[in-house]
Structure 1
Amino acid sequence: MRQAGRVHLTDALARIGDEVVGTQPRPEPATVLVVGLVVLAVVALPATWRVSRHVVTIAHEGAHGVAALLSGRRLAGIRLHSDTSGLTLSRGRSAGPGMVATALAGYVGPSLLGLGAAYLLRERHALAVLWLAVVLLGLLLLQIRNFYGLYAVLVAGLGVFAVSWWGSEPVQSVAAYAGTWFLLLAAPRPVLELQRQRRRGRARDSDADLLARLTPLPGLAWVGLFLLVTVAALGLGASWLLGLLWGR
């Protein structure tokens, strides 16, 4: 029985490996466009944005965590809250390049993740997008330190895993494109919301204001940089996805 279990696990890992490195047919151009328009409506409408914004928060806090680790800081845990806010705690110097990189990563992280996914889709690796999402969510789950965060990441991870394992090829393709469109289209909105809160004096501890305290640049300059990166990533990522309309 134990040997059979090992065989099944080996077969499963081999299947996942083949899907990650393999290529899948691109969907019809009209499908890519329609998926993008549907996602745009989800981001634009207040009712759907209140729910879907949790996905941006997961990517935002995950980006903080990755930046902290890559810059040599010790990740102390991540919390996600039901009001779509989050908190990433890391240990290390309270100033310097590592802290700057960690603070900078949050608002630009979702758009850069979406840009990477768009590149994989351009190269016809839709299943790689889904399986990488499963891996990243699994790693993030290990760092979550509150119940709601565990719930949110677990639901997202199981949802992506179910599509990756049991979904048909068209369903998997649409899911990969929908997730990519969402990261690209949604990333600029929290930046705009951040600046509105800053104007009202409600975001004194925001990433932009933390960066202003760590560097000579004012908070508004950092908000401008966040917006520039997210809009540029949206433009480039959309050109890769919509390149299908022109046969590229």
Structure 2
Amino acid sequence: MFDLLDRILAVQPAPPMSTVIATAVIAFVLVAWRRSWRWVRNAITIAHEGGHALVAVLCGRRLEGIRLHSDTSGLTFTRGRDRGPGMVLSLAAGYTAPSLLGAGGAALLATGRLTLLLWLGILLAVLMLVMIRNVYGVLSVLVTGGILFAVSWYADATWQAAFAYTGVWFLVFGGVRPVFEVQSQRRRGRAHWSDPDQLARLTPLSGGVWVTIFLLVGLGAIALTALLFGLIAATRDSSLFT
């Protein structure tokens, strides 16, 4: 057990700037390219629904289950007051969760806790698995958690760094694209029950304002991640010459 804790909490050196840039490019392509986005969007949906679930529980709502669908959509079922701050915060957590998770991951990588980041991802997958209520959702979370475990347990430090940095970039880039997608659906009148439209019915702010808030959170997470990763790589590269 102590050996496992030492392995999880070990501090690993930062990768070079070339790795940081390469992983950012890979993550951006995965999000921007339509064909790859169809396959990897499930990870963003897991983070989205996990955000709803976590904040709902923290706000005192009763979490009844989560469903993930093959079209990459998802639903989180909670019970409690249908109005009030708890409901608002729970709804607002979905579109902001991937971006905030990514920024939090970037902050953790800034301390060199790369393996810890991967194991926290495994823990979140296990906790979410308990609340999944359909077969496709169970398979999606199992595959995600399995990949995280395989990388954290079998990959060397170089591959772990490449995976972790790509994953964090993917979360912050992937947190923005769904915001544009839901706004596109709203313009076509096909998103009456979207998170921003539900929030508009619960608050004085319009759906468009909520979309703007989600977008600002996403862009802020990208900027923060880029700043942290840039400082990490610059510090590492400069230390090579001292």
The TM-score bracket by the shorter chain reads over 0.9
Q: SS in structure 2 opposite 1:79? A: strand
**Structure 1 residue 226 corresponds to structure 2 residue 211:** no
RMSD, matched Cα: 1.1
Q: Which residue does the alignment assign to 1:145? A: 133
Q: Is the 8 A contact 1:33 1:242 kept in 2?
A: no
**AA paired with 2:188?**
R
Task: Give the drift of 1:19.
Answer: 2.9
**SS at 1:247's partner residue?**
helix
After TM superposition, which residue ranges in structure 1, 4 or more long, deviate above 6 angstroms?
A: none
Match in the other structure for 1:8? none
How far has the Cα of 1:245 moved from its partner? Answer: 4.3
What percent of counterpart residues are identical? Answer: 49
1:102 aligns to 2:90 (yes or no): yes
* SS in structure 1 of the partner of residue 63 of structure 2: strand
Q: Any unmatched runs of 5+ in structure 1?
A: 1-10
8 Å contact kept, 1:61–1:88: yes
Q: How many Å apart are 1:167 and its aligned residue?
A: 1.2
Alpha-carbon displacement from aligned partner over 1:2-22 (angstroms, at most 9, x marks no partner):
xxxxxxxxx3xx333223332
State whether structure 2 residue 112 is matched by structure 1 residue 135. no
With 68-77 and 15-24 compared, the bigger mean Cα shift is at 15-24
Whole-Å Cα distance in 2 between the matches of residues 246 and 20 of structure 1?
25
Q: Distance in 2 between matches of 1:160 and 1:246?
A: 27
Q: What residue is the counterpart of 2:178 in the other structure?
A: 190
Structure 1 counterpart of 2:196, from 204, 208, 211: 208
TM-score (norm 1): 0.93
Q: Return 5+ residue gaps in structure 2 as ranges.
A: 237-242
Within 5 Å, which residues of 2 pair with 1:4-15?
Answer: 11=1, 14-15=2-3
**Alignment TM-score, normalising by the size of structure 2:** 0.95
Deviations 1:120-176 (A, max 9, x none): 111111111100000000100000000000000000001101111111111111111
* Residue matched to 2:144: 156
Aligned length in residues: 236
Aligned with residue 170 of structure 1, among 158, 180, 203: 158
